[in-house]
Amino acid sequence: MKKALLVVSFGTSYHDTCEKNIVACERALAASCPDRTLFRAFTSGMIIRKLRQRDNLHIDTPLAALQKLAEQGYQDVAIQSLHIINGDEYEKIVREVQTMRPLFKRLVIGAPLLSSHEDYLHLMQALSRQMPLVAPDERVVFMGHGASHHAFAAYACLDHMMAAHRFPARVGAVESYPEIDVVIDSLRHEGVKAVHLMPLMLVAGDHAINDMASDDEDSWKTQFERVGIAATPWLQGLGENADIRAMFVQHLQQALEQSLEVAA
C-alpha cells in the first residue's frame, strides 16, 4: 500500500526562512517515517498566489494535495500540521480531511504544537535552549500571531505558565490578547530594563521582520524603546529549534499510534 506524509504549514514567501524552518521540519518528520513519501501543502492562499505569480512555484492547498494523493494511488496518508495553536487554520485542515476520508484506507492528522498540558511544558524547555542568558532585570518577550478564534487563549495560558514557573520570558500577540502594551506595562512595573524579542511563530516572516524588529513607529522594538526599555530582536523561527521539530515528530507518531490502536 502506497504511503504518504503530507506536511501542512501556513507557509512563507521568504525562501531562506522556508529552508531554515519549514524544510527543516519536513526533513525531521520524513526521517521519522522512512516508509512514506513526503509532500507539502500551505494553508495561506495569499502566499500560494504570491509564490505562483512571483516565482512560478506551485504549492498545493491541503485539499488539492489530498486530491492528488488519492489520484496517485496513495491509500495511507499521515498529515502533520506545523501550526502553533488549534485555531482557524488547523480546523480548516481537519474539515477538509473529513471530506476526503472516504478516498483513503487510512488518513491521520497530527496535532499543532500547543495541544496538551505537556506541550506547554515541553515548549518552555525547548525555548530555553534558544534564549540568551538574561540578567535579573532582563526578559525575553515572544511574539505570537494571535487569533480571532477562541484558541487565542493558548498565548495567555503560555504566558501564565511562564510566570508560574518563574521562567524569564513573556508572551504577547500581534492580533489578540495579551496585547504588547499589556506586556510592556507589566514589565515596566517589574523594573525590567532590557528585553530580547523573539517570534513565537514557525517562521520569522513579515510579522517578525516588520511588527517586531523594525524601526517603524508601532513596532514592538520601538514601543519598548519609547518607554526606556532596550530591545534586541532575534529573527529565528521556531522551526529552527531542533527540540520544537522533535515535538512535531512526537505529535505525528502519537497520531499514527492512536490510529493503529483504533484499528485494532
> Residue type for 241, please?
N
Phi/psi at 203 (5° precision): -120, 150
How far apart are alpha carbons 95 and 64 in whole angstroms?
Answer: 13
How far apart are alpha carbons 41 and 11 in whole angstroms?
Answer: 8
Phi/psi at 240 (5° precision): -80, -10
How far apart are alpha carbons 240 and 167 in whole angstroms?
Answer: 21
Catalytic member of 58, 83, 117, 145? 145
Note the Cα 48 to chain centre separation in Å. 18
For residue 166, is it left (φ>0), alpha (ψ between -120 and 50) or beta?
left
**Cβ of 105: how many Cβ atoms within 10 Å?**
10
Using a 10 angstrom Cβ sphere, with 0-12 exposed, 13-18 middle and 19 or more buried, the burial of residue 70 is middle
Helix axis angle, 153-164 to 117-128, nearest 10°: 60
Does residue 145 carry a catalytic annotation?
yes
Copy the grid coordinates of residue 241: 529549534
Q: Match 506547554 to its residue by C-alpha cell.
A: 120
Contact yes or no for 23/94 (Cβ under 8 A): no
The number of residues in the chain equals 264
Would you name the residues annotated as active-site residues? 145
